[in-house]
Each structure stands twice: as C-alpha cells, then as structure tokens.
Amino acid sequence: MRVFLTASALEKELCAEAYDNWLKSEYETEDEFIERKHGVDLADLLKRVIEEKLNDKEKAVIECFWFYKMTPKEIALKTNTGISSVYKLLDAAEKKLHMYLEYVVVYQDSLIKRELVPVSVRQAISDTAVKSINSKTVGERLKKLRVTENIPVKKLEASINMPMGRLEIIESGEILPDIDELIKLTAFFGTSADYILFGKKG
C-alpha cells in the first residue's frame, strides 16, 4: 500500500535521499569531501572574523576590495578616505584575518609552510563574497546556493539524478527547473521554492 506523504514529509524524504546519493556518489572521494567541507567551514569562520574582529573602517575597506572588486582609488572616493589610508587599512585588515585564521588553516590542512595560509584565506574571502551576491534570477540564485557550498555542477546533477548539462542551462537562465527538479533542489539545499523562484526568504 502506498503512503501519501505531506509536503514537509516529502521534502524530508527527498533531502535524505539526496544526502544518501551525495555520500554514495562515485564522483567524490573522501579527500574531496573533506576539502569541500573545509572550504565551507573556513568561509563561515572568515565571515565571523570580519564581522567581529575588524573595526568599521577595516570592514568597509576589505568588503569593497574583496567582495565588490573595487580598486583602492575607487574605495578612497567611496569612503572619502585618502588612498594611502586605504592601503594601510587593507594591510591591517588582512593581517588580522591571517592572524585569526592561521592556526585553523594549519590544523585543517596540516600545512607545514605557513606562507600558504594567505592563499587559503583569500579563497575563503572569495567564497564568502559569493554569499553576499544579490541574485536576481532563478539561475543566479541556484548558482549562488551551489557555489556557496562549493559543489561542482556535475556532482550536484548526480546527487539529484538530473541529466548532465541541464543544471548549467538552468543557471544560465535559458530555462527554469521543472517541478520535480525544484522539489529536489529545495530539499537538497534546505531552502524554499519561494527563495529559488522569487528570492523571498523566510
């Protein structure tokens, strides 16, 4: 006898199925999973450091420089600050980020050479920047969800049994996901159809 599921029960079942598929995926080794998880964790920690450990000026400058790709000259004009002060603030902010995250990176990646720490921190800044993007289309929102979790296109397609190549077409804005794909994507990312379709949170 078939059991008819409520929407929330169906979402939970699909989420569990997507998670199981992810764990069993032949496309991701254990090392790859650990590396992806580390990247996501470091991006989250970096966001906390920016919010809690940088002063207002350092925070404004680092966000303009890294998140919005502004030049020091553009930042100086936007913040009404001298360009030499912008460079000093950038330097101070980056030193703080490296200081607070250095041992996390060393612990995660068993790095012997600490000069590699800035590379990991910069990657985390890049990942955090993606999270701050204001996505305007369905495709952009899906891409933001995927990139935020550092999941390659092919791996996500395999996880939710989507035909290869279809996700790229959806993310480009050429087509919209069908209802089955939408249900699987909302379950996989733990979000709502309202967010994916209209950008509405909550």
Q: What is the DSSP string of 57-103?
A: HHHHHHIIIIIS---HHHHHHHHT--HHHHHHHHHHHHHHHHHHHHH
pLDDT at residue 55, rounded to an integer: 92
Q: How many CA atoms lie within 13 A of 133 on its CB side?
A: 20
Q: Tell whether the model's pLDDT for residue 108 goes beyond 60.
A: yes
Q: Report the predicted TM-score, pTM, of the whole model to 2 decimal places.
A: 0.46
Percent with pLDDT over 70 in the chain = 65
* Domain architecture of the chain: domains with CATH: 31-131 (1.10.10.10), 134-198 (1.10.260.40)
Q: What are phi and psi of 115, to 5 degrees?
A: -70, -15
* pLDDT of 133: 61
Work out the widest C-alpha separation in the chain, in whole angstroms: 73
Q: Please check the confidence at residue 32 and state whether its pLDDT lies above 80.
A: no
Residue 176: is its pLDDT beyond 50?
yes
Give the helix ranges, DSSP H, for the chain.
7-24, 30-53, 56-62, 72-79, 83-109, 117-131, 138-148, 153-159, 166-172, 179-189, 193-198
Predicted confidence at residue 19, as pLDDT, reads 57
Question: At 114, is the pLDDT very low, low, confident or very high (cuts 50, 70, 90)?
Answer: low
Minimum mean pLDDT range among 33-37, 46-50, 104-108: 33-37
Q: Report the pLDDT value the prediction gives residue 4, as an integer from 0 to 100.
A: 38
pLDDT per residue over 123-136, tens digit each? Answer: 676 666 666 666 78
Task: Read off the pLDDT of residues 43-84 as tens digits, 9 standing for 90 and up.
Answer: 778 888 888 889 999 988 888 887 777 888 999 998 888 999
The pLDDT tens digits for 123-171 are 676 666 666 666 788 998 898 888 777 788 888 898 888 999 999 999 9
CA pair distance 30, 49, nearest whole angstrom: 28
- Average pLDDT over the chain reads 76
Q: Of all residues in the chain, what percent carry a pLDDT higher than 90?
A: 15
